[in-house]
Amino acid sequence: MQETVANRIESQNVAAPERAAGIGVKAVRMAHRAVNLAVLIAVLVLFAVCCYALWDSAQTYQAADAKRYEVYKPTAENEGKSFTELRELNPEVSAWLTVYGTNIDYPIAQGPDNMKYVNTDAEGNPSLSGAIYLDYRNSPDFSDMSNIIYGHHMKKNVMFGDLGLFAEKTYFDERRYGNLYYGGSDHGLEIFAFLKADAYDTDVFRAGAKDTGARDAYLSLLLDKAELTRDISLNDDDRILLLSTCSPNETNERYIVLAKISDAVFEDIFGEDVPGSAWSVDGALGLWASLPLWAKIAIAALPLLLLLLLIFGRRRRKKREEARRAIAAEKSADTAQRETDGLR
């Protein structure tokens, strides 16, 4: 009897460490699973954020695409009916701008200040891409000597993203004309200069110069600053148009294309064949370039995080396997020891 009790006590003493070791292994496994789950959740959240950034950027550019407004464009066929519908949606739309050989083909709005249409589209809806808009100081019938139209400089050739291309002489030389619809009829645009200016240069951004002396001085100032020009006839009663957008190079730098407003309407020799359309084969690169820095970092870091997760997962599996082998070896040793003690 005493020997039986002793054997039981010895078995309990041997089983206790085994149970403790088993509990330890389970705790380690649970900790590993918790870490793996946390890392997986972090990766999934990062992936979701990256996908949202890509989607949001694509939505912004799609909202800015000129094709979105095609249905409203005044033409000889619809006699301005669609344009009238747009004006019913937003009475502050008064004109339509087209620059031949570019993707600039948009309605023009005019707000009570120069801030409203920075983040409001031509239909009057909130939009990060804003709208093409006329300086609030100008007359909506373009009767001023100097008329200024603004638009965001965006990638993928939307809004005024093409204006910077006029800095290239070949591009400038090939694109001479455009069209400005207002007051129920078309008016020609004759492009004659490209320049860069500071956003706070009030001498450049003067809307509505009236008297002849001021007009001549203003025009001379613009031509002196111009990097590219072409000779056209400019009379005292001619009106000019400034198309202005931000520069991607410097915060306060602006790209400006100058054009004369003419009663003569010019032919669009480019037609539908416009180079560098908004959704070309380079769209993916344009979309990447348009992403904010944090989104680029997150997307670039995602493969690294997945690789680290894979490496750590393998290391944890290896350690668990080694732990299982050690426990199995210890159990075998304990069993052998008990059998040896029993034989004694």
Q: Could you list the pLDDT tens digit for every one of the 344 residues in the chain? A: 555 555 555 555 555 555 665 666 667 667 767 766 676 676 666 656 656 555 555 555 555 566 888 889 987 666 556 899 999 999 999 999 999 999 999 999 999 999 999 999 999 999 988 999 999 999 999 999 999 999 999 877 889 999 999 999 999 999 999 999 999 999 999 999 999 999 999 999 998 766 667 888 899 999 999 999 999 998 888 999 999 999 988 889 999 999 999 999 999 999 776 655 444 434 445 555 556 666 667 777 777 777 777 787 777 777 777 777 777 777 777 676 666 666 55
Query: Three-state SS for 228?
Result: strand
Per CATH, the architecture of 95-278 is what? Beta Barrel (2.40)
Domain ranges of the chain: 2-58+295-343, 95-278
Instruction: Report residue 329 as tokens.
Output: 């070896």
- In this structure, the strands spanning 146-150 and 177-182 are unpaired
DSSP sequence for 246-270: E-SS-TTEEEEEEEEEESSPPP-SS
Enter the DSSP assignment of 291. Answer: S
Local structure of 170: helix, strand or coil: helix
pTM of structure: 0.67
Report the DSSP pairing between strands 177-182 and 93-99. antiparallel
Helix or strand holding residue 206 (H, E): none
Residue 162: name the closest of 108, 243, 95, 223 by CA.
Answer: 243
Mean pLDDT of the chain: 80
Distance CA 30, CA 37 (A): 10
How far, in Å, CA of 250 to CA of 198, rounded? 9
DSSP H helical ranges for the chain: 2-64, 81-89, 169-174, 212-225, 283-290, 293-343
